[in-house]
Homo-oligomer: A and B are copies of this chain.
Amino acid sequence: MNNKCEKCIVKKFTGLQALTSDQLKCISDGKITRTFKKGDVIFDEGDHLKGIYCVRFGIAKLSKLSTNGKDQIIKFVSNGEVLGQRSVIAQEPANLRAVAVNDMDSCFIPKKLILDNLQNNTSFTLELLQNLAHELKEADDVIVNISQKPVKNRIAETLLHLENSFGVDSEGFMIIQLSREDISNIVGTATESCIRMLSELKKEKLIETSGKRIKIINRNILQKLGEGINN
């Protein structure tokens, strides 16, 4: 569905730098791959990352533990997108925890290679810059939404966003399957509140559910809700 491998940063810089280093060649041949099972911690807050992960297949969630014990989900990363680049670029410990939402295949790119390329490969660096610029915009938008919209509206928006990012199966159910707790940790609310709102959306015939599976029925009204329009 969402096969963005042509956007994968690995391809970008293998193509651009014409394989000057052995390491680079090694990676482009796909030799350093890492697989994770659903629930595996890819890296944790405070970890010193030895490289970045390019997701070949699967979905990871990035989250951060709050002092109140809740684990706020910041964003999801999937096919062709990259995990851990901020920490490696800034040469700082990871600010977020990365956990596999599904079974996951990734390509591991050692830190050294990244840092070498930062020095020598302008196209690569510019690509990263665009990446961070985009992430920053998204983060700012999340700040506005989360602080100013009520829970129900945030859930509506989250559902649309998840459907849009990861697609639906043949029956129209969203591919990504999250626990109610995960959803509540995206919108920043109590799990019970999240469940209640989903029930409401169900009663209002905007969504359907079947276990963890969620199907969006009335995209229009959900959209309006997401934009903060309540009736």
- Checking B118, B136, B145 against A136 with a beta-carbon cut-off of 8 angstroms, the contacting residue is B136
Whether B147 and A136, one on each chain, are in contact in the complex, defined by CB atoms closer than 8 angstroms, is: no
A126 to chain B, nearest CB (A): 6
Chain A 119-170 interface residues, beta-carbon cutoff 8 Å to B: 119, 122, 125-126, 128-130, 132-137, 139-149
A5 at the interface (CB under 8 A from B): no
Q: Which residue of B lies closest to A72 (CB)?
A: B144
Chain B residues with CB below 8 A from A130, complex form = 89-90
CA distance A118 to B89 in the complex (A): 17
Chain B residues with CB below 8 A from A89, complex form = 129-130, 133
**With known contacts A90-B134, A95-B137, A147-B188, A228–B129 Cβ distance under 8 A:** no
Copies in the complex: 2
Whether A228 and B140, one on each chain, are in contact in the complex, defined by CB atoms closer than 8 angstroms, is: no
Chain B residues with CB below 8 A from A90, complex form = 130, 133-134, 137
A74 at the interface (CB under 8 A from B): yes
Chain B residues with CB below 8 A from A132, complex form = 129, 132-133, 136
Chain B CB within 10 Å — which of A66, A89, A119, A140 has the most? A140
A115 to chain B, nearest CB (A): 10
Whether B136 and A129, one on each chain, are in contact in the complex, defined by CB atoms closer than 8 angstroms, is: no
Chain B residues with CB below 8 A from A228, complex form = 66-68
A96 at the interface (CB under 8 A from B): yes
CA distance A74 to B140 in the complex (A): 7
Whether B141 and A140, one on each chain, are in contact in the complex, defined by CB atoms closer than 8 angstroms, is: no
CA distance A229 to B69 in the complex (A): 12
A132 to chain B, nearest CB (A): 4
**With known contacts A90-B133, A136-B135, A145–B229 Cβ distance under 8 A:** no
List 10 A-B pairs, Cβ < 8 Å. Answer: A70-B148, A72-B143, A72-B147, A74-B140, A74-B144, A86-B133, A122-B122, A129-B132, A136-B136, A139-B140
